[in-house]
Amino acid sequence: MRGNRPLRVTEGPKNGWAVIRAVIPYFWPDKTAEDARKTKTRVIVAMVFLLAAKLVTVGTPVLYKSAVDALAGEGQSAAWMLGAGAVGLTVAYGMARLMTNGFNQLRDVIFSPVAQSALRQLALETFNHIHALSMRYHITRKTGGLSRIIERGVKGVAFLLRFLVFSIGPLALELLMVLVVISFAFGPTYMLVLLATIAVYIYFTYVVTEWRVKLRKEMNDQDTDANQKAVDSLLNFETVKYFVAEKREAARYDKAMEAYEVAANKTAYSLGFLNFGQSFFITGGLVIVMVMAAIGVQNGQMTVGDFVMVNAYMIQITMPLNFLGTVYREIRQALVDMEEMFDLLHQPAEIKDAPGAPDITVTGGTVALKSVEFAYDPARPILKGVDLEVPAGKTMAIVGHSGSGKSTIGRLLFRFYDVTGGSLQIDGQDIRDVSQESLHRAIGVVPQDTVLFNDTIRYNIGYGRDGATYEEIVAAAQQAQIHDFIMALPEGYETQVGERGLKLSGGEKQRVGIARTLLKDPPILLLDEATSALDTRTEQSILGALKLAGVGRTVITIAHRLSTIADSDEIVVLDAGEVIERGTHEALLKQGGAYAAMWSAQAEDREAEDAA
């Protein structure tokens, strides 16, 4: 059926190399546009400076050797290299070190715009994709978890770029160059010893780091557990006091910290083992090569400068290798974080626009449900062939007990979900055939709990229409009957509402929400239990604003309190996903059916509340 359009699920990256391949297009775009050419040019120039830096780095010990030989009166290279003797060679040695740093800084400066643009593009793409995902996905995921996935994923890309491109890659290039120079300068035996040292060092680092990753994960899990217990106890401070459980909570927290202590000690011991092992292998290789060089000097086959150069090369490769264990572990973690983000990017959007979908054209605002069927879970149907029609400019109220499906109709109208049977139409247009953006513009929603942004009242009302003027915002507030309240505040429309609007009362938040919707000026208005969370007095003051908001619009009211919808043009009673009664308030009371019973029960509750 149309509501069950098949979704093509694209698999996300499942391993480290796949993640790296997924990142490459952000740094080497396969487009021919001007921006793409500039990006590629920057990458090429940055790589040229990287190569230049490594060439100078590898050549620097040769200058050092020549200076030593010049001072010792040995060798043949000093005189023809610079013609300035030991002093000139020493200056050249210093200039070479400075050039290495300069090339590296130029590389970073040239590549920085590429990296930052790629990170921005990746973060924006992920952000937009999350907004495109269906309501079904969002209600099963924690918002904090999604934000952490984006944050960790983008940081992971930045880390991978910094260390893989500018540390691991250059390190491999430098090692290769050093091996070639050593082989040509001193023979293949030196190269083989150096190669064996590097191979053993890397293998040892890999094996121990894999082991440490598991220990580190255990430590992090214990740390998270202890932190959760502490936060949980503090959030439930009153309950702890009520049941005199301070010692119990302290013992519970201490037990969690004890497990963390054990895991942290294992991690510290393993780090000591890793560091000593790395030092053992690299020092062993260094000593072997230096002994070979010392024997060569004693035999007259090598100069003192050669001995110094061998030592310089060994020290030169030792420093970056010492960070290999840490970098490898962080790269593995970065790949995991990036994989989570790319998996998120490959989550399919359940609700999609049809190819070439036009904008909806609202001429009057007639809303019609034709044999609508829907189920969140196929085994549990919610709506079972519902037929309704709200004429343009009229008001329809939908009532029923919890679970009857009334709120589901609102979600379907806004197309948070697609119907699984039948169709939902506005002015004869199936909402699945029009663009979601235009559909959302045509419908204004005042929900049960209006959630505000942590910004000013002016910003929250102005959110109803992008680019609205201050005068338009004030006019909307006046229509919602909240202007006088706002002007009585010390900062007026610039008053901060706090996170989720918690600095305002429920009624004040609802009025801000109504003003925001009025500013949007939609032809269709959906009131989804807009007053059910308010007390009776606040509700009565809000009803006037809602009634004004509905003038000239098609209004669908989903209500629990029947007193708020008694003057609707038509009232529909839902039960278990089916329409069981419909008519005006007076007609339904005369029928003496389900609506009359609900009215009677709520009347008794109102009398009891008034008496209290």
User: 304 and 428, same structural domain?
Assistant: no
User: 317 and 412, same structural domain?
Assistant: no
Give me the CATH number covering residue 326: 1.20.1560.10
**Residue found by looking up tokens 């509402």 in the block:** 497
Cα(170)–Cα(175) distance, integer angstroms: 8
What 3-state DSSP class applies to 269? helix
**Closest C-alpha to 344, from 165, 143, 163:** 143
CB atoms within 10 A of CB 461: 29
pLDDT at position 612 is 55
The pLDDT of residue 495 is above 80: yes
Determine, yes or no, domain membership for 499: no
Determine, yes or no, domain membership for 497: no
The pLDDT of residue 518 is above 60: yes
Sign of CA pseudo-dihedral 366, 372, 378, 381: positive
pLDDT at position 81 is 47
Per-residue pLDDT, averaged over 197-226, amounts to 82
User: 272 and 387, same structural domain?
Assistant: no
Cα(555)–Cα(393) distance, integer angstroms: 7
Looking at the 3D structure of the chain, how many domains does it have? 2
Helices (H), 346-494: 406-413, 436-442, 457-462, 470-479, 483-488
Q: Are 460 and 452 spatial neighbours (Cβ–Cβ below 8 Å)? A: yes
Q: Give the end of a domain, one of 345, 376, 406.
A: 345
CA distances from 100 to 103, 176, 200, 318, 595 (A): 5, 18, 29, 17, 84
User: 175 and 289, same structural domain?
Assistant: yes
User: 67 and 115, same structural domain?
Assistant: yes
Cα(405)–Cα(574) distance, integer angstroms: 7
pLDDT at position 12 is 42
Exposure letters 259-268 (e unless 16+ CB within 10 A, then b): bbeebbebbe
**Closest C-alpha to 105, from 33, 61, 53:** 53
The pLDDT of residue 338 is above 60: yes
pLDDT tens for residues 291-308? 888 888 888 787 887 788
pTM, two decimals, is: 0.59
**Residue found by looking up tokens 């106890």 in the block:** 233
Confidence of residue 329 (pLDDT cuts 50, 70, 90): low
pLDDT tens for residues 27-86? 677 666 667 778 778 888 888 888 888 888 877 777 777 777 777 665 555 444 445 566
- What tokens appear for 203 in the block? 């293998």
Q: Are 83 and 119 spatial neighbours (Cβ–Cβ below 8 Å)? A: no
Determine, yes or no, domain membership for 426: yes
pLDDT tens for residues 602-611? 776 665 555 5
pLDDT at position 155 is 72
User: 226 and 78, same structural domain?
Assistant: yes
Per-residue pLDDT, averaged over 440-457, amounts to 83
Percent of the chain at pLDDT above 90?
A: 0
User: 288 and 380, same structural domain?
Assistant: no
Give me the CATH number covering residue 443: 3.40.50.300
**Residue found by looking up tokens 């598991």 in the block:** 214
User: 40 and 166, same structural domain?
Assistant: yes
Domain hosting residue 423, numbered range: 367-451+521-611
User: 109 and 244, same structural domain?
Assistant: yes
pLDDT at position 452 is 83
User: 291 and 326, same structural domain?
Assistant: yes
The pLDDT of residue 557 is above 60: yes
User: 145 and 242, same structural domain?
Assistant: yes
Confidence of residue 1 (pLDDT cuts 50, 70, 90): very low
Cα(194)–Cα(176) distance, integer angstroms: 11
Determine, yes or no, domain membership for 380: yes
Helices (H), 73-187: 77-82, 85-132, 135-138, 143-160, 169-186
User: 531 and 391, same structural domain?
Assistant: yes
Determine, yes or no, domain membership for 481: no
Determine, yes or no, domain membership for 474: no
- 22 or 264: whose pLDDT is higher? 264
What 3-state DSSP class applies to 334? helix
Q: Give the end of a domain, one of 311, 345, 379.
A: 345
pLDDT at position 454 is 83
Determine, yes or no, domain membership for 563: yes
Cα(419)–Cα(532) distance, integer angstroms: 27
What 3-state DSSP class applies to 446? strand
pLDDT tens for residues 217-228? 788 778 877 887
Determine, yes or no, domain membership for 271: yes
